[in-house]
Chains A and B, each alone.
Chain A
Amino acid sequence: MNTHLSLNDPHTPRRCAPPLFIKGNRGSLAEIPSMKRGARQGGVCRSLSQNLSLSLNLSLAPILALGFALFASPLPAQPNITQAAHAPVTATLIPLSENWRMDGDVPVHALLISLQGLANRDQPRVYLEYPQNWQWEIVHPLVGFLENRHGMKFDRLGLDDADAALGRFARYAKGVVVWDKAVRSSLIVAFTIAGVEDLVVVNEDQLALAARHGLKPVVDLRGRFTGQPDEQIYQWAYDHYWARCSRDYYVVLGGHAGAEMQPGIADFGIQQRAFFSDLSANPKHPGELALLKKILIQQNTASIVLGWHSYGKDTEGQHTTLVGNYGLIMEGLHNLPNVSFTSQIPLTPDFKFTNNHHVTPGRPLKAEPKVYVCAVATDSMGIGTWTKPGRGRIPYTWQVLMDWAWMNPPALQYFYEDKSPNDYFIGGLSGPGYMYPKAIPPDKFPGLMQIARRLMAKLDLRVLEIMDYSEGNRHVGNTDLPKELVDRYYEQFPDILGFINGYGSARTFDLRDGKPFLSYDYYLDVNRTIPEAIADLDELIQLNPKRPYFLLMHVRESNTIEKVSDILGHLTESVEVVPLDVFLSLAADAKTYRTYHRQPNDPVDRNP
């Protein structure tokens, strides 16, 4: 029997009830740096905490209520999102080409993405249909979902049709900002200016087109940055625009570098008036690093860093570690598209997040003397194999990016409604977003984990996945957690079913009060052939002779489920493939693994 428990938090001070359409933060208030977040965001906003609801097994309710009571401190602020009461009846759909070169179609895409950010600022009006091979592969299925579940009608324009788009939406802009074709970083600065000044991003070749729609240059970056290094370019942007930018969102518009750019997240950054850069977190670039630290330290606690580090400057480990040092939350996908649109679309009234649970808390399963295997796919469901053949063939566990509960509700509803009986969801990654727990200052850890708990409750998730590349990676160094940090996770998640850790293989294992803390024993590389993967798993089974043996494998997102199924079907010893909640319950019953935490002499690699 299920009950519906509202989690309105009386200690959450800053939100208020929404009208039909809710206004978000506006620039005039954002200009006042001394104001606190709640006031600065202005307007009336639908609160995340007010929206939180939890589907519970009735027998668990008292336990969980107690658990939440233990953590009833004020909810750390999370950014507000302008959200409609319902999806719009119609919206404009603009297909984009596959060319993402700076000297190719990036100029027209930048124009359209900036226009999208402005047009969608107070209502979802424009959806960009990214090409079929776009890394975030849910762009196309989501159109069908919005049509079918929300009854939306899309009015389709021509491919990259900026003229038609400006004809419809130029009225949401006050002019244009002109970026310098000779200076790549000027386009990133232009995205900042577009959001702050309500301008469409163009280069000199598009000035005439913009003029035909009444848009004149307001800011011209041509020649301004010639010969300057990035630290100087972004310092100029900081000096002129930072004070008016959001303290809830910062965009690191990295990822592809050089001749290519995939600024899929820019519409949302512009909508939210975020500061954009691709500043480096690499100590080899001290000037850029200093400015980046200056930016991050001024952002609100638990605010969002959108995008991805620059492939040309620093590493994932360096950047995510630095973001964690300031207690910020990484939402790491620079080409995540249409968030200015989807973030405003609510869940359908008939929907609630419901997972495929196989275990009843308090009733542990009995492990048999055999090998248990659990396959987990991470790296965001939107860029994995969700839409590929084979899903549903074997029990499979999927890591949910929990902040999408408010950043991208239709995407999560799509996944939850599209799941097969063999798909099981878990929370990640280390907290409410992508973060490394060893990098988070201890005083900021409880607040972040409080957000994670509430998102897990909303999304019906009972397992948390942890990853930490602050001291290593899947090649060198270590990805393990010291006992003190494991203690903190157990303390913060009293109602959890268990934790899993790693990305590549890791060594942190524990079991407390029936809640296992296990690490990956195997990482299935995309390039690993099926015969070699079979030999790998057979070897692990040989190396771990006790039964039951709990073999947790991380499946790199591009591996198909068919491949995983083939591998598991050809092992020399028969194994049982189970979903993660079953796996953890069995691991709680038979502790054949040794307790292990990060040791003081473990190797450390800072991901240079």
Chain B
Amino acid sequence: MPVFRSFLHLLRAAVFLGGLTAALAAISSSPLAGDWHIDASHSTELSPWKDYELTISVSGDTVTLHRRLAWGRREFSDNLTVQAGAVTTVPVDMWPENRHLGAYISAAHTKRVRADWLDAGRILRLNTDLVLSTQQGDRAVNILSDYKLSANGTLLTLTELRSTRNRPIVYVFTRKVEEMK
């Protein structure tokens, strides 16, 4: 039945294209996009920092995460721009995640990040490989970071699993717009 097979192919293609279009539409107007501020009371203790602001921008396949970490007058900010569905090598000035540990970005000053949208654009997953330098030398580390939106879109939960850490890190953010209201 060649006609019927062609119809099935067309149907599958339509479903695929429809789903793809929907996913792309969701992503281009990603509900994760916006300005977020940490809710320290529901997050893993943040030291050495006390404040964490995150801005997510999405344009097509390009996702940019701008973070600002602060402790009083001291602050650190950086930008991470990645391509969804691809691996991007990005420069790293320093590893600010936990400055209380004797672990520093290696001399290469880079990390490799694969970004993927999951669950129709509700979750951004970053799979990061980097090398940290310690008193004993260089050590490869993998970090799985899920930026997950709540059902009502008001909370963003960042869960980080580091290959070297036994305990997950969870940061909960609220939209800064919501805070202003």
Contacts and interface: CB of A to CB of B under 8 A. Distances in A.
B181 interface: no
Interface stretch (B12-20, B28-36, B95-103, B171-179): B95-103
Nearest to A536: B101
Nearest to B107: A599
A546 B135 CA distance: 10
B73 interface: yes
A370 interface: no
A545 B100 CA distance: 19
A521 B164 contact: no
A507 B73 CA distance: 24
A519 interface: yes
A21 to B, nearest CB: 47
Given A539-B164, A545-B136, A474 B44 contact: no
Interface stretch (A289-297, A433-441, A523-531): A523-531
A542 B165 contact: yes
Contact of A544 (B48, B96, B134, B162): B134
B69 to A, nearest CB: 8
Nearest to A315: B73
A525 B48 contact: yes
Contacts of A536: 98, 100-101
Contact of A507 (B49, B74, B98, B135): B135
Contacts of A524: 100
A573 to B, nearest CB: 11
Contacts of B73: 315, 607-608
Interface in B49-105: 49, 71, 73-76, 93-94, 96, 98-104
A532 B136 contact: no
B5 interface: no
Interface string A511-550: 0000000011111110111011011101110111110011
A543 B132 contact: yes
Range, interface on chain A: 35 or more
B47 to A, nearest CB: 4
A473 B102 CA distance: 14
Contacts of A522: 100-102
B9 interface: no
A507 B102 contact: yes
A475 interface: yes
A549 B71 CA distance: 30
B167 A531 contact: yes
A242 interface: no
A521 B135 contact: yes
Given A507-B135, A532-B44, A543-B103, 4 more contacts: A505-B103, A532-B45, A544-B139, A596-B135
Nearest 8 CB-CB pairs, A to B?
A521-B102, A535-B167, A525-B47, A505-B102, A593-B135, A475-B74, A523-B100, A542-B164
Interface of B: 44-45, 47-49, 71, 73-76, 93-94, 96, 98-104, 132, 134-137, 139, 141, 162, 164-167
15 contacts: A475-B49, A475-B96, A475-B99, A504-B48, A507-B104, A521-B101, A523-B100, A535-B165, A535-B166, A536-B101, A539-B103, A539-B164, A539-B166, A543-B164, A544-B135
